Amino acid sequence: MEQEFFHIELTKSVHIAVPLAQTAEVLTLETSELCVIPGVAPALLGVVNQRGRLLWMVDLEYLLGLQPTHTTKRRRSPALVVNWLPDQAEDQETEYRLGCLTSHLRGIVACQAKDISPVPPRLEQRMHQFFSAWIHPPGYSLLKLNVAAIFTAVQLYSSPTSMALL
């Protein structure tokens, strides 16, 4: 069975696959649009106005503990908007969205079930929680992003008292 993912590049060596069903849209973030919120975890860059709704922007590189290759000082940055519907949501219509700053948006990739395996044990332990599989279509490898884990981390670490943990 074929599965589709949106391929994003965080660094030259870290490529991530986001399930297409959890990909809402792509956008280009103008730094002038970003409203920084004081007192939140450093991985939370701030909010942007997306068609009249506030959208939190997260720096995935920082959240994953990678050495950042981009800065918010760049005039324009690509971002992927991901969505998440919690399993225990009281209102099954409530869908949460989060913008993820990336280095490069690579597009949609399709792979077969045979191309998906468990996360490699050599991956840093801290990063294991954020990935649910290793996807290795011919020619390259991607880590499948656990979108729920990203939302959980943002919720846990968005209060000023837990800021040091992120």
- The whole-angstrom separation of Cα 82 and Cα 18 is 8
Say yes or no to pLDDT of 163 above 90: no
Q: Which of 60-74, 109-123, 125-139, 152-166 has the lowest mean pLDDT?
A: 152-166
Residue with tokens 């971002």: 79
- Each residue's pLDDT tens digit, 57-110: 999 888 888 766 555 456 788 999 999 887 655 556 678 899 999 889 999 999
Looking at every residue in the chain, the average pLDDT score rounds to: 83
Q: What is the mean pLDDT of residues 37-58?
A: 89
Q: What is the CA radius of gyration of the chain?
A: 16
The answer to whether residues 166 and 41 touch, using CB atoms and an 8 Å cutoff, is yes
How confident is the model at residue 84, as a pLDDT? 87
Is the confidence at residue 13, as pLDDT, over 80?
Answer: yes
Q: What is the mean pLDDT of residues 24-30?
A: 90
- Using pLDDT thresholds of 50, 70 and 90, give the confidence band for residue 165: very low
CA distance 5 to 142: 10
Q: 2-165 adopts what CATH topology?
A: OB fold (Dihydrolipoamide Acetyltransferase, E2P) (2.40.50)
Q: Are strands 44-50 and 53-59 parallel, antiparallel or unpaired?
A: antiparallel
- Give the neighbor-by-neighbor strand order of the sheet with 23-30: 23-30, 76-84, 96-101, 53-59, 44-50
From CA 5, how far away is CA 135, in angstroms rounded? 10
Model pLDDT, residue 121: 83
3-state secondary structure of 57: strand
Whole-model pTM: value is: 0.82
**What residues does each domain of the chain span?**
2-165
Q: Read off the pLDDT band of 47 (50, 70, 90).
A: very high
Query: What percent of the chain is predicted at pLDDT more than 70?
Result: 85
Helix (H) or strand (E) holding 148: helix 147-157
The mean pLDDT of 40-47, rounded to a whole number, is 87
In this structure, which amino acid lies at residue 161?
Answer: T
